[in-house]
Chains A and B, each alone.
Chain A
């Protein structure tokens, strides 16, 4: 059995069991996958779902990239300099442990219900864990390999891009993996609390109307998108980065 078949098989089995439960017990609060799929299609056709999805996607990628960039810079600073590490470690611990909800509420109160507040809230939640990952990565950089560049007279820029960064690629991958998963979740909460568009907002609307089929259809859309990102971006990227490994 190919890996793709194995992946698909477990998912199909899950949907089948779910539909079977719905057919046998006809529970009031659990629509079956067929009903959810129909709703998904109609939502997609009406243009409502793609609109919310795009808005959320933009927020996710925007804040993800900013969080990654900040995490990389601070992580490089803390991993590279012991003094910076000592100075910032306490702050890092604080930011790692402030509940996401607190940061979100405060951002809305301070900056108002706007895109800026959304991005700041997500970045503040995510950048600290990215920092931790990149700090580890920088600490693990093999200085012996950097010396090779020095002894052969490679320019500073070339040493950075050809010898230093490649050693961090696995950490970029780890940060992206864990980062995207968490950023999605935070963005949805942010949208639920203070936005008038996006998946989170629409889920809130469904919640108020007790529309479980609606909630599940949006979850479907969301899961499909994640699978797509995994297949189109993450796995090819991972293959490229780990190609040389034993």
Chain B
């Protein structure tokens, strides 16, 4: 999947939100997209997902579609966990149950979303994202508003799926440590209009966690070279 974005401007805005972004998503890569809030991370993700078509540029899509994890779980409250997942595979309950088993929710397939905890709702949403085995998985800050164990469980399940099926994952995050612990490469979005201001490949061993010394050291090194990276600037020197 390849995106060559010339410019994205919202109707009524007097300047572009995004400009000059060239992004390739290849099989098996795990990218994290970081940047200050409001910079256009979600906008970029929506363009990649095909939800936003009002932009200048070109996007070549892969067959088999994408899986998308929204910031909120976005489950249909009137459908059970199983029905929610089956919805995106033409009602195939068998595959839905397999996907729910993969996120350790076999016992909850009959429950309605309001009967599930926030973490379980996210896992149902993850099951829905992976049930059709997409080549590309787009994740929009899926770990916010989850408690620590819930977030860790979801991350573990996600990594497990990634290592098994080797899709391309693009994770939007505002948490540098979390991004370093998960991804192979970091993309920093910044500027106005926003574009990718820095790419940082990571060569860390897996498995790794947010508390690993190597992960923390990588973050400190990155922030020392580019102190303004997370606020959308690139003023540092290396």
- For B41-63 the 0/1 string (1 means CB < 8 A from A) is 00000000111000000000000
Query: Which residue of chain A is the closest to B77 with respect to CB atoms?
Result: A244
- Does B68 sit within 8 A of A, measured CB to CB? yes
Is A152's CB under 8 angstroms from B132's CB?
Answer: yes
Is B51's CB under 8 angstroms from A151's CB?
Answer: yes
Is A151's CB under 8 angstroms from B49's CB?
Answer: yes
Query: Which residue of chain B is the closest to A148 with respect to CB atoms?
Result: B74
- Does A163 sit within 8 A of B, measured CB to CB? yes
CA distance A148 to B68 in the complex (A): 8
Is B114's CB under 8 angstroms from A154's CB?
Answer: no
Partner of A147, one of B51, B76, B87, B128: B51
Interface positions of B from 130 to 181, Cβ below 8 Å from A = 132
- Does A80 sit within 8 A of B, measured CB to CB? no
Q: A144-B70, A151-B68, A152-B132 are in contact. Are A166 and B78 (CB under 8 A)?
A: yes
Q: A144-B72, A147-B51, A150-B51 are in contact. Are A162 and B87 (CB under 8 A)?
A: yes
Is A152's CB under 8 angstroms from B88's CB?
Answer: yes
Partner of A145, one of B66, B68, B74, B132: B74
CA distance A151 to B125 in the complex (A): 13
CA distance A144 to B76 in the complex (A): 10
- Does B112 sit within 8 A of A, measured CB to CB? yes
CA distance A165 to B139 in the complex (A): 28
CA distance A169 to B78 in the complex (A): 10
Q: A145-B76, A162-B87, A244-B77 are in contact. Are A151 and B114 (CB under 8 A)?
A: no
- Does A4 sit within 8 A of B, measured CB to CB? no
Partner of A244, one of B66, B68, B74, B78: B78
Query: Which residue of chain A is the closest to B111 with respect to CB atoms?
Result: A244
- A to B contact number (C-beta, < 8 Å): 43
CA distance A154 to B86 in the complex (A): 12
Interface positions of A from 128 to 183, Cβ below 8 Å from B = 144-145, 147-154, 162-163, 166, 169
Partner of A166, one of B76, B112, B132: B76
Interface positions of B from 62 to 85, Cβ below 8 Å from A = 65-66, 68, 70, 72, 74, 76-80
- Does A99 sit within 8 A of B, measured CB to CB? no
- Does A27 sit within 8 A of B, measured CB to CB? no
With both chains docked as a complex, state the minimum distance between the C-beta of A146 and any C-beta of chain B, in angstroms: 10
Centre residue among B70, B77, B115 by max chain A CB count within 10 A: B77
Q: Using Cβ atoms and an 8 Å threshold, which residues of chain B touch A152?
A: 65, 68, 87-88, 128, 132
With both chains docked as a complex, state the minimum distance between the C-beta of B14 and any C-beta of chain A, in angstroms: 23
- Does A246 sit within 8 A of B, measured CB to CB? yes
CA distance A150 to B66 in the complex (A): 11
Is B78's CB under 8 angstroms from A151's CB?
Answer: no
Query: Which residue of chain A is the closest to B113 with respect to CB atoms?
Result: A244
Q: Using Cβ atoms and an 8 Å threshold, which residues of chain A touch B50?
A: 150-151
CA distance A42 to B80 in the complex (A): 52
Partner of B76, one of A151, A153, A163, A246: A163
Is B65's CB under 8 angstroms from A153's CB?
Answer: yes
Query: Which residue of chain A is the closest to B80 with respect to CB atoms?
Result: A244
Interface positions of A from 187 to 212, Cβ below 8 Å from B = none
Q: Using Cβ atoms and an 8 Å threshold, which residues of chain B touch A246?
A: 114-115
Query: Which residue of chain A is the closest to B131 with respect to CB atoms?
Result: A152
With both chains docked as a complex, state the minimum distance between the C-beta of A26 and any C-beta of chain B, in angstroms: 57
Contacts beyond the supplied A144-B72, A147-B51, A148-B70: 10 A-B pairs with Cβ under 8 Å: A145-B74, A147-B74, A150-B51, A151-B50, A152-B128, A152-B132, A153-B65, A154-B87, A166-B76, A166-B78
Which residues does A use to contact B, with CB under 8 Å?
A: 144-145, 147-154, 162-163, 166, 169, 244-246
